[in-house]
Amino acid sequence: MARALAITTTLTGAALTGAALTWAGASAAAADQVVRTDGGAIRGVQLAQSGQQIDFDIAAQPLADALPAFGQQAGVQVSAHGDLVRDVMTPGVQGTMSVEAALMRLLAGTSLDFRREDNGAIVLTRREASEDGVRSLGPIMVEGAAVSDPLAGAADRAGSITVGREALERRNPANMKDVFAGETGVSVGGGIPLSQKVYVNGVEETNLSVSIDGVRQNNKVFHHNGTTVIDPALLKQARVDPGVAPADAGPGALGGSIVYETVDVDDVLAPGRSVGGFATMSFDTNGETFTNSTSAYGRSGGFEVLGFVKRADGGDYEGGDGTTIHGTSAKMLSGLAKTGYESASGHRVEFSAEQVRDNAKRPYRANMRDLTNRNDPLVRTYDLTRNNYTATYGTPDATGLWDPRAVLGYSATEVLVPTPFDSIGTTSSLSGKLENAFNLSETDSITAGADFYNDMARYEDPTVRGLEEEVDNYGLYAQARLEPLEALRLSFGLRGDYQNFEGIDGTEMNDGGLSGNGSLAYDATDFLTLRAGYSNVWGGVALAENYIFNQNWAYATDIKGVRAENYTAGFDVDHAGFTFSAGVFRSEFENARDATFGGSPADTVDFQTRGYELGAGYDWGPGFVKASYTDSKIEVNGAPGSTFNTQYRGTPLGRIIAVEAAHRFDEIGVLVGGTIDAALTNTETVDAGGAKQEMYRVYNLYTEYEPEFASFLTLRAEANNILDEEYADRATYGQDFATVAPLLEQGRSFLFRARAEF
């Protein structure tokens, strides 16, 4: 719901539905007049003094709903144009602090600023259009992750890891490892985008429900490749639900879910503008990589369109030991096109097309530098193309019992490897869902719907006909999100799936299963929240990897569908800017498919991951610091796991540490920050019969400058891996094997970037 806001102790405004044109064209001054009397005095409100310490207790929710509560608790009048707060989420604020500090936390990650009027009233503005005296919030706040998630305050989001648009701008990610910098619960190994895989609490992403703009991803092609190769420049948000995922996250959420959302016009077009665009250029000294991107977008009469294209081109980088790592050159081309229409009555349709292509010489086995007991060439060509097409319909401003959403999409990944067999592997997924959110109140809702997917995996080369596995899945689901008590939030859901699987020899198998989940979050005090979750998920028969298909496979008719149980529990403390969190997790998988080229396509294994996590931080308004620590273990059939026998299941990670900090000097337009990425020695792999995983420490720093004389320009400089550490990320394959030279990460590098908006 979009509103023009003027807040004393109540909200005065109008819903976008039926009044969109009026409020979209209203000025901030018009909004102020709703509560002002002659002479500009504010009626019925005693304004809090700057610096006065006040108790705040505002939960994560839509900003438009949070501002009235803020006005009441702070004793201030707040004004904001409706366009500024439309679809914006706030992480909330709890604790005792000044009005200014509380408002900075309330607006964390929203790209909104504020200023104090002479009479003490507060006016919200957008950072890009700041004026003298406006306090810039920008891409600083830790809490700014959930800016586009209307369910951010639900119990099933209590343990989620969300990287929002502001965090992405702050981190300036070159690959998926950078996206999740500072998040030890999510590990990304592989060195180069083509071979990177994402692990959530030690579980590989192929065991999670992964979607891009609501479209299911089926990208498991080749074990030497990454799975979902995505350009982070296209993203506005990435959300990870570790372990326990809601029923509406989609089928196959065995170990949780990952939800990627690409940028929309709303994310980049400034209020009051009908067209806009930006261009960026960067240079990385290690590998001499040039990256260029450009985007243009606009909106008129309910129609909107966005286009984005990016190209990265460079040479092989050097590792921390000064050795050139062959096959690591940047050769990526990506693009995104979106168009949409929203009617005055609130109905919205959107179409998008996204593509990522990486075509270059890569290590012969792309996820390792070399296999020393083989006499293979150092590099060979990998040509990977991933496409994603989406059509959606919804009513984003609906608040009643009729709030439908429909998604239809197609995704596909093709990997061509000319050497030695001229191989082509293709996976694809045609998927869709139709659901409705029954909004019972501002805090209670039930989402119910139906979904389907058709997944296909195909391999071909000149020596064999096209070999295919295919699966059709049909599901029904419902998820309730309720707040029976003011301090208690519940989320629970159920889904049923029916599946038809067909092997490469035509063998068909039919099966079905039920899945359930439950989560709770309880605010024990105004600064302490307890959380817990459980799920029992049926996943059916997973498709095998294309590049191990064998035309002589004989399928058993009793392949059991994989099933997983997940347990999570923890607590979060948030008081006066200080945060602390702790949690435990455990995931158990039964009958995970373990097909091999020379073995049976029906083999299965059991595996489990378990561990705990800690986090702490302090947010002082214009800056923050946070640290996290995760210790996880993985076992396969009851024995410690190696990086080999955990493939397509997870990976041994051990103890991971991450630190992130940033501070903005508003008076001079400068942002400074940095990250620390570290892993302690892991001997669990010794118990699995291999070598230990060595410890490492990596330090990165950056600074950004927005010159006052050129507000359209942002300049950035980075110093990455400052100490030139020689290391492979803990999630990279093969560190525990003497015959594997793991793919090292980039050594010391300096990156320079310029971004111009128009």
What confidence score (pLDDT) does residue 465 get? 84
Indicate if the pLDDT at residue 347 is higher than 90. yes
Fold of the CATH domain 5-146: Phage tail protein beta-alpha-beta fold (3.55.50)
Strands 93-97 and 203-204: unpaired
Residue spans of the domains in the chain: they are: 5-146, 259-269+331-655
Could you tell me the two tokens for 423? 């191989």
Three-state secondary structure string covering 185-238? CEEEECCCHHHCEEEECCEEHHHCEEEECCEECCCCCCCCCCCCCCCHHHEEEE
What confidence score (pLDDT) does residue 83 get? 62
Indicate if the pLDDT at residue 295 is higher than 70. yes
User: Which of the four pLDDT bands, split at 50, 70 and 90, describes residue 451?
Assistant: very high
Which of 137-151, 215-229, 631-645 shows the highest mean pLDDT?
Answer: 631-645
- Asked whether the beta carbons of 479 and 143 are under 8 A apart, the reply is no
Share of the chain above pLDDT 70, in %: 89
Which H or E run contains 97? Answer: strand 93-97
What confidence score (pLDDT) does residue 85 get? 78
Reported as a single tens digit per residue, the pLDDT across 468-519 is 999 999 999 999 999 999 999 999 999 999 999 999 999 999 999 999 999 9
Which H or E run contains 425? Answer: strand 423-439
Which H or E run contains 32? Answer: helix 28-33
Strands 78-80 and 122-126: parallel
Indicate if the pLDDT at residue 15 is higher than 90. no
Share the mean pLDDT of the chain. Answer: 88
Q: Output phi, psi for 740, to 5 deg.
A: -110, 125
What confidence score (pLDDT) does residue 5 get? 37
Stretch 216-242: mean pLDDT: 91
What confidence score (pLDDT) does residue 738 get? 94
What confidence score (pLDDT) does residue 56 get? 87
Kindly give, in sequence order, each residue whose CB lies less than 8 Å from that of residue 485, ignoring residues fewer than 6 positions away.
Answer: none
d(CA 315, CA 286): 8
Nearest to 639 by CA among 678, 676, 690: 690
In CATH terms, the superfamily for domain 259-269+331-655 is: TonB-dependent receptor, beta-barrel domain (2.40.170.20)
- Asked whether the beta carbons of 546 and 458 are under 8 A apart, the reply is yes
User: Which of the four pLDDT bands, split at 50, 70 and 90, describes residue 35?
Assistant: very low
What confidence score (pLDDT) does residue 89 get? 81
3-state secondary structure of 111: coil
- Can you say whether the dihedral through the CA atoms of 144, 145, 151, 153 is positive or negative? negative
Indicate if the pLDDT at residue 24 is higher than 70. no
Stretch 244-256: mean pLDDT: 97
Share of the chain above pLDDT 90, in %: 73
Indicate if the pLDDT at residue 686 is higher than 60. yes
Reported as a single tens digit per residue, the pLDDT across 192-206 is 999 999 999 999 999
Could you tell me the two tokens for 730? 């803990």
Reported as a single tens digit per residue, the pLDDT across 67-98 is 888 888 888 888 776 667 766 888 788 777 88
d(CA 748, CA 444): 50
Could you tell me the two tokens for 170? 């702050």
pTM: 0.83
Which one-letter DSSP state was computed for residue 42? Answer: B
Stretch 703-728: mean pLDDT: 96
User: Which of the four pLDDT bands, split at 50, 70 and 90, describes residue 43?
Assistant: very low
Could you tell me the two tokens for 714? 């942002």
What residue type is 424 in one-letter code?
I
What confidence score (pLDDT) does residue 29 get? 33
Indicate if the pLDDT at residue 145 is higher than 70. no
What confidence score (pLDDT) does residue 118 get? 66
